[in-house]
Amino acid sequence: MAKGIDIKKLCDLTKLEIPEQNMTEISRKMEEVLLMFDKLDEFTSEGSEVKILEDLKFELAFENLREDKPGPTLESSEGLQAKFKLKNLKDGFILGPRI
C-alpha cells in the first residue's frame, strides 16, 4: 500500500509547497508513516482485557455537561446570511472550493 506515493499530487491536493530537492526524502518518510498505519491494522486485542476509560481524565463528569440546544441554521435564519456575507450558497448549503 505504501509504495508509489505521488508526492507532487499530494502537494497539489494539500496546497503544500515542497522544494524539489526534498521530494525523495519526503516520499521515503511518507512511506514509513503509511507502513506504521499498516501495522496498526494488524493489531488485535484478543486475549487481553481492554480498559478504555480508566486512564482518561475528564474535567467534568458526563452528567454535568450542558444539554445540546439547536441554534439558528441557514434555512431558519435569514439574518445569518447577512451577518456572515455568505457568497457561495446553493439550496441552503455553503459551497467550498472544488478540489
Q: What is the residue type of 95? A: L
In a domain, 35, yes or no: yes
Q: Assign 1 a pLDDT band (cuts: 50, 70, 90).
A: very low
User: Containing domain of residue 28, as a range?
Assistant: 7-42
Segment 18-67, tens digit of pLDDT? 888 988 888 888 889 888 988 888 877 777 666 666 666 767 777 778 88
Residue in 1, 6, 3, 2 with CA at minimum distance from that of residue 23: 6
- Decide: 23 and 7 in contact? Cβ < 8 Å: yes
In a domain, 48, yes or no: no
Segment 71-98, tens digit of pLDDT? 766 554 455 445 566 778 888 788 888 8
pTM over 0.75: no
Report the number of distinct structural domains present in the chain.
Answer: 1
In a domain, 47, yes or no: no
In a domain, 34, yes or no: yes
In a domain, 15, yes or no: yes
Query: What integer pLDDT is reported at residue 73 of this predicted model?
Result: 66
Cα–Cα distance for residue pair 24/32, rounded to 1 Å: 13
In a domain, 96, yes or no: no
Does pLDDT of 10 surpass 80?
A: yes
